[in-house]
Structure 1
Amino acid sequence: MNPKPDCILIRVFHLHLKFAYPNGFWKGLCETCLDSAQKIYLEVNKNKPSCRKGKCALCESKTGVFPAELEFPDFSKGIVKKDVNLCYRCLKGVDEAYIRHKKEMIEQEHAHH
């Protein structure tokens, strides 16, 4: 039996760590947050909503960001939903991780049948 991971890994490019990690590094989002961020990515690509200046919650870059709602674990409250900002580059990483995750899920389903 294969244990299901808690987080789906997303490649993030941090401006201040670009020399230490030129290919980016990995941050994890739960499946619910990945789905939520994926919807933002699709909306951004379809409607091209205007972004505002802010700090990205994943890579911490101060750039154009889009609002998203993500869930964070809180030991006293369980799960807390927070409004965060995500930059386009991280949203693109979310899209890649989303596609990879869905493909892995389909492959696992076929392997069990």
Structure 2
Amino acid sequence: MPNVNPVRVCHSLLKFAYPEGVWTGLCENCLESTDKTRVKVEKEELAGTPGKCKLCGSKTDLYPVELRIPNFSKGVVTENTMLCKKCLDAAGESYVKFKREQAHGHRHH
């Protein structure tokens, strides 16, 4: 079972109950993949596609992120998931924090 890293997501349906956002977890590989997409978006190497974000539910421009999803029969399935810029930024913040903690040897189990 992989460790998951917390990412704060502002879910559109829960914004009144949780104005600061809710926490969701991404494994290290998915967090790294999300950060790579975020960097491409910031460098304007990737154009957005209108749709609904898989993490927060916002209807806005989305960007493809390759996620590795555990599957009992196949082991791991790779899937492109569409995420918005806000979720990419939130995952990017979590990725930087994860890398910083990893460099200092602080890993929570």
Q: Assess same fold via TM > 0.5.
A: yes
List aligned pairs for 1:28-107, cutoff 5 A: 28-47=25-44, 49-107=46-104
What secondary structure sits across from 2:104 in the alignment?
helix
Moved more, 68-77 or 35-44: 68-77
Task: Give me the CA root mean square deviation.
Answer: 1.4
Larger Rg belongs to: 1
Find the aligned partners of 2:53 and 2:82 in 1 and give their Cα distance: 5
Structure 2 partner of 1:23: 20
Richer in helix (by share): 1
Q: In the TM superposition, what whole-angstrom CA distance separates every residue of 1:32-65 from its partner, at most 9, and x where no partner exists?
A: 1111110000010012532111121211222110
Percentage of matched positions with identical amino acids:
45
Structure 1 partner of 2:8: 11
How far residue 107 of structure 1 moved from its aligned partner, in angstroms, is: 1.5
Find the aligned partners of 2:68 and 2:57 in 1 and give their Cα distance: 18
Find the aligned partners of 1:73 and 1:62 in 2 and give their Cα distance: 27
Q: What are the ranges of 5 or more consecutive residues in structure 2 without an aligned counterpart?
A: none
Q: In the TM superposition, what whole-angstrom CA distance separates every residue of 1:58-91 from its partner, at most 9, and x where no partner exists?
A: 1122211011110111122211111110100000
Q: Between Structure 1 and Structure 2, how many residues are aligned?
A: 105
What secondary structure sits across from 2:18 in the alignment?
coil
Q: What are the ranges of 5 or more consecutive residues in structure 1 without an aligned counterpart?
A: none
Paired residue type of 2:97: R
